[in-house]
């Protein structure tokens, strides 16, 4: 089991939380606490960078959904970046790949959007 580490940084689009280690039953509360400490401005994008995530169980998936709900409640958006293949597969099986905005990496997620699309 890898300990969970959450590192926060700011991007032009909003906060980025870098998740490293195992996101599972015992560690999911750490991410929930980090989310509780966030205040998002309307229109901001919260990016969860999962490039360092080693493992994610159902508790972790539930916490990702809680992050999405938090963003929605604050009139912001959420994107997942660099989702590991095994987690991406689970998201696809349960249909959450259609619920989450998923980007190849954090830099793609935080790239400025053009006015034309």
Q: Is 25 a domain residue?
A: yes
3-state helix, strand, coil in the chain (%, to 5): 35, 30, 35
Name the domain count of the chain.
Answer: 1
pLDDT at 89: 96
Find the CATH number of the domain harbouring 27.
Answer: 3.30.750.24
Q: Is 116 a domain residue?
A: no
Range of 87's domain? 5-109
14 backbone φψ class: left, alpha, beta (φ>0; ψ -120 to 50): left
pLDDT at 114: 52
Q: Is 117 a domain residue?
A: no
pTM for the structure as a whole: 0.94
Beta strands in the chain (DSSP E): 5-11, 14-23, 45-56, 77-81, 101-103
Q: Are 13 and 42 in contact (CB under 8 A)?
A: no
Low-confidence ranges of the chain (pLDDT < 50): 115-117
pLDDT at 116: 44
pLDDT at 113: 72
Tally of CB atoms within 10 A around 24: 18
pLDDT at 79: 98
């Amino acid at each position: 089991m890898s300990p969970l580490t959450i590192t926060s940084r700011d991007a032009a689009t909003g906060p980025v939380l870098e998740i490293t280690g195992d996101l599972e039953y015992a560690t999911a509360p750490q991410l929930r606490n980090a989310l509780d400490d966030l205040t998002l401005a309307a229109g901001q994008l919260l990016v969860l960078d999962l490039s360092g995530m080693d493992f994610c169980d159902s508790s972790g998936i539930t916490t990702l959904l809680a992050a999405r709900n938090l963003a929605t409640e604050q009139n912001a958006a959420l994107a997942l970046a660099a989702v590991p293949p095994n987690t991406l597969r689970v998201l696809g099986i349960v249909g959450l790949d259609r619920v989450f905005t998923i980007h190849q990496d954090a830099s793609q997620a935080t790239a400025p959007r053009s006015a034309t699309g």
